[in-house]
Chain A
Amino acid sequence: QKEVEQNSGPLSVPEGAIASLNCTYSDRGSQSFFWYRQYSGKSPELIMFIYSNGDKEDGRFTAQLNKASQYVSLLIRDSQPSDSATYLCAATTDSWGKFQFGAGTQVVVTP
């Protein structure tokens, strides 16, 4: 069983709408959570990270963390065609803080 689970998608979102991506994790000791965006053929790039329960906003992106339910989500507001990519969720796994990545959710924003 993978420690970090994501719906593989594709998640089709109309331009201007909100994209909602979910990620669940199994290690209750996970402390830090990261969202990366990966365009096809490119390397992952950080969107944002979150450590504390609740919401964290950065521009059009909002990360939400609920440690009791062991899920973290990413909202993309006013989705643009340039947001079409695969979004990777990562959680630190143990006291050493190594990352465990989910397989990613593909988002397709349609004009």
Chain B
Amino acid sequence: NAGVTQTPKFQVLKTGQSMTLQCAQDMNHNSMYWYRQDPGMGLRLIYYSASEGTTDKGEVPNGYNVSRLNKREFSLRLESAAPSQTSVYFCASSDVIGETQYFGPGTRLLVL
């Protein structure tokens, strides 16, 4: 039982490049989330998926898109990376919205 897994662990991009962060959970959870964490800012919600087939914007969605591929997988795409998107990205899942969230190990992204 791996819990929540994320790939890649580290990534360096140049401004304007695109990439997709992958997230998968094996806990049969309905809800999944993408956060970014910056020093002094705490965790900020980018997008979430309350259930398979639905996605909604969070607090800081600009510059990102998401896909809930199936119940297990939720990906985050940066179409044209900017230095302001340098951050640590965490994926999380919960049985339903409002219940305990379980976090993946994170992806450290540096945009030059």
Contacts and interface: CB of A to CB of B under 8 A. Distances in A.
Interface of A: 2, 4, 8, 31-32, 34, 42-46, 49, 88, 90, 92, 96-99, 101-104
A102 B44 CA distance: 9
Nearest to B45: A98
A42 B50 CA distance: 25
Nearest to B50: A96
Interface residues of B, number: 23
> Which 7 residue pairs across A and B have the least CB separation, nearest first?
A97-B98, A103-B42, A43-B103, A101-B43, A97-B97, A101-B42, A92-B98
Contact of B103 (A2, A4, A45, A92): A45
A99 to B, nearest CB: 6
Interface string B69-112: 00000000000000000000010000011111111111000000
Which of B42, B96, B99 has the most CB atoms of chain A within a 10 A radius of its CB?
B42
B41 interface: yes
A46 B94 CA distance: 12
With a 10 A CB-CB cut-off, give which of B99, B100, B105 has the most chain A CB atoms.
B100
Nearest to B101: A99
Nearest to A103: B42
B58 interface: yes
B34 interface: no
